[in-house]
């Protein structure tokens, strides 16, 4: 029997609703496969501001660091728009990533056969399904480099500096090679090496590392071409690894290819197996508390937790198969509903998936 301690940050808006369904599924997995998952609920985001005046309390960080993994709902909402920038709910995410050393973000983009009609691409392009994983560097690059204003050739100008060290590149590539080994052993490093020195360093490090992963087929692609290929021939990709800014853009593009943001999970890692798992959607305050939110992304996020942090492949597959089964039966929450489907609320969708565990 495995013993796993999970810190749960339900967050704001629909966060508590979808997180609760994910917790229920995880408990069922524990019962079926004889694991013990214990949960400690802590605050972050807007609800933490309301409760104790800060978006990321020290108690929350301590609980997360003491856990084996973190489950996160969603944070933020217009209620806290007037809060000073340093304490906005979204700052809790940056604080968690920084304090927990989460430098690697995994975002899968998967099309289920039952939802193929929701894909904006031609049917022949995604025939047979689509399953891409984007590995994004999360704590370096232009977002974290030197930035500011100065007097330039044409007057005042702004600047943002892209900086990457070999250490930062090597650790994200290690993660990417490792997850490629768990999938189809194809890794594409996306960069702009024809222009950027940082990209050339990425390629140098990747070339040095590829001998450690002889089973993985490593390729390179410029980011502008990758953006085109994602809509022209996305099935050529298995795992994509890239820098912070390029990953930010490409992962959003890939998510829209699937047709529904409400279905997509994500994971953030540091060194080792510790991770933070969350759906990629926001807090959606306009539907909070109305039993309308889609819990599938949150449920698939705990599936990623089982696979990548706890290495429980069979248990992760049980969740993925349960989600696939309910979708094939035509069960839909409002965000993915179309005429002829069975309309379900948040709780009902969670119950439907639970029956297949």
Burial class (CB in 10 A: 0-12, 13-18, 19+), 250: buried
Residues 6+ apart with CB under 8 A from 107: 133, 134, 136, 251, 254, 255, 264, 266, 280
Catalytic residue check, 68: no
SS3 315: helix
Residue 131 annotated in active site: no
178 is catalytic: no
**What are φ and ψ of residue 267, in 5° steps?**
-140, 145
Catalytic residue among 131, 178, 248, 335: 248
Residues 6+ apart with CB under 8 A from 179: 106, 133, 135, 239, 308
Catalytic-residue membership of 41: no
Catalytic residue, chosen from 12, 164, 191, 192, is 192
192 noted as active-site residue: yes
Tell me which of 50, 224, 271, 286 is the catalytic residue. Answer: 224
Catalytic residue among 5, 41, 79, 143: 143
Q: In what order do the strands lie in the sheet with 265-269?
A: 35-42, 2-11, 69-74, 275-279, 265-269, 104-111, 130-137, 239-242, 186-191, 217-222
Q: Which of 27, 131, 210, 252 is catalytic?
A: 252
Beta strands in the chain (DSSP E): 2-11, 35-42, 69-74, 104-111, 130-137, 147-152, 155-160, 186-191, 217-222, 239-242, 265-269, 275-279, 331-332, 342-343
- CB of 60 closer than 8 Å to CB of 49: no
Separate counts of helices (H) and strands (E) for the chain: 11, 14
Give the residue numbers marked as catalytic. Answer: 143, 192, 224, 248, 252
């Amino acid at each position: 029997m495995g013993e796993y301690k999970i810190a749960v940050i339900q967050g704001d808006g629909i966060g508590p609703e979808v997180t609760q369904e994910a917790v229920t599924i995880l408990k069922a997995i524990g019962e079926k496969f004889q694991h013990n998952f214990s949960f400690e609920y802590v605050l972050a985001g807007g609800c933490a501001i309301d409760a104790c005046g800060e978006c990321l309390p020290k108690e929350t960080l301590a609980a997360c660091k003491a856990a084996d993994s973190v489950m996160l709902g969603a944070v933020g909402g217009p209620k806290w728009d007037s809060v000073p920038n340093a304490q906005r709910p979204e700052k809790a995410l940056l604080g968690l990533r920084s304090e927990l050393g989460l430098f690697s973000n995994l975002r899968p983009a998967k099309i289920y056969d039952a939802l193929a009609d929701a894909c904006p691409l031609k049917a022949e392009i995604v025939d047979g399904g689509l399953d891409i994983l984007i590995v994004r560097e999360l704590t370096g690059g232009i977002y974290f480099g030197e930035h500011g204003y100065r007097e330039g050739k044409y007057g005042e100008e702004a600047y943002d500096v892209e900086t990457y060290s070999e250490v930062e590149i090597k650790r994200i590539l290690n993660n990417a090679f490792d997850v490629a080994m768990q999938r189809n052993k194809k890794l594409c490093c996306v960069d702009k090496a024809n222009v950027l020195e940082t990209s050339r360093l990425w390629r140098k490090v990747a070339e040095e590392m590829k001998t450690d992963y002889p089973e993985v087929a490593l390729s390179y692609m410029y980011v502008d071409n990758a953006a085109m290929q994602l809509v022209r021939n996305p099935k050529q990709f298995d795992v994509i690894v890239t820098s912070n800014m390029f990953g930010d853009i490409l992962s959003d593009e890939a998510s829209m290819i699937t047709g529904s943001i409400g279905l997509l999970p994500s994971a953030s890692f540091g060194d080792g197996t510790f991770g933070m798992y969350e759906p990629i959607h926001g807090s959606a305050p306009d539907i909070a508390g109305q039993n309308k939110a889609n819990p599938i992304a949150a449920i698939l996020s705990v599936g990623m937790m089982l696979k990548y942090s706890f290495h429980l492949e069979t248990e992760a597959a049980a969740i993925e198969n349960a989600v696939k089964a309910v979708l094939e039966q035509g069960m839909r929450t409002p965000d993915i509903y179309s005429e002829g489907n069975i309309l379900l609320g948040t709780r009902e969708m969670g119950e439907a998936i639970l029956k297949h565990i």
